[in-house]
Amino acid sequence: MSDRSKTKRVARQRRHARVRKTVNGTPARPRLAVFRSNKHISAQI
């Protein structure tokens, strides 16, 4: 496996873990992640 593809795969796994940590939920309570900055607020379902 080339070094570049391994780096991309590891980066994707880390990103996936980070999102899974933030976005969690159950069937009764859907997954919701809210991000707030000084100008904007966004929700990810």
Region 10-38 average pLDDT: 81
Structural domain of residue 11, as residue ranges? 3-44
Q: Is 33 exposed, middle or buried (0-12, 13-18, 19+ CB in 10 A)?
A: middle
Q: Which residue has the higher pLDDT, 42 or 26?
A: 42
Please report which confidence band the pLDDT of residue 1 belongs to, taking 50, 70 and 90 as the band edges: low
pTM, rounded to two decimals = 0.44
Q: What is the DSSP letter of 29?
A: S
Kindly report, residue by residue over 15-25, the tens digit of the pLDDT: 888 877 776 66
Region 36-40 average pLDDT: 92
For the chain, the domain total comes to 1
